[in-house]
């Protein structure tokens, strides 16, 4: 049976640029760099974001943008500071979708290799409660 999420891997064109992206936006801690050794299929680095293992591997990234994404929860009190860190990197920030009250706020943004990320202030229970209470 599934116990938990193990890790998320992103294929990126530039390990150092993505390392800066992860540490700047997510306060990710770098815990491993292959430094020329290839135990896997390519050079790689591992990070931890609040107990979530993120792996980045050097390679050809996805060729086009989509709505497939990874979302991380942030406190609403930190929302504006997060947005400022994202904008400081000059990456593409999307206009958020319309939301119903109580659903939480989100920032959607692409990394340099067309991976979509979201920072969201809500929880699943808040969203479900908002949907139940919505007049739509």
**44 classed as catalytic:** yes
The catalytic residue among 3, 29, 44, 92 is 44
User: Among 16, 26, 1, 42, which residue's Cα sits nearest to residue 86?
Assistant: 26
Secondary structure in 3-state letters for the chain: CCCCCCEEEEEECCHHHHHHHHHHHHCCEEEEECCCCCCCCCCEEEEEECCEEEEEEECCCCCCCCCCEEEEECCHHHHHHHHHHHHHCCCCEECCCCCCCCCCCEEEEECCCCCEEEEECCCHHHHHHHHHHCCC
Give the active site residues: 44
């Amino acid at each position: 049976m599934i116990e938990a999420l193990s890790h998320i891997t992103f294929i990126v064109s530039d390990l150092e640029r993505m390392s800066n992206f992860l540490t700047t936006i997510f306060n990710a801690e770098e815990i491993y760099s292959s430094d020329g050794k290839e135990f896997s299929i390519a050079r790689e680095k591992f990070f931890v974001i609040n107990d979530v293992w993120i792996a980045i591997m050097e390679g050809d990234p996805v060729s086009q943008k989509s709505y497939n994404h990874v979302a991380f929860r942030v406190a609403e009190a930190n929302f504006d500071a997060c947005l400022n860190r994202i904008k400081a990197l000059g990456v593409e920030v999307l206009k958020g979708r319309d939301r119903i009250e109580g659903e939480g706020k989100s920032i959607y943004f692409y990394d340099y290799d067309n991976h979509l990320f979201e920072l969201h202030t809500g929880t699943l229970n808040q969203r479900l409660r908002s949907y139940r209470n919505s007049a739509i």
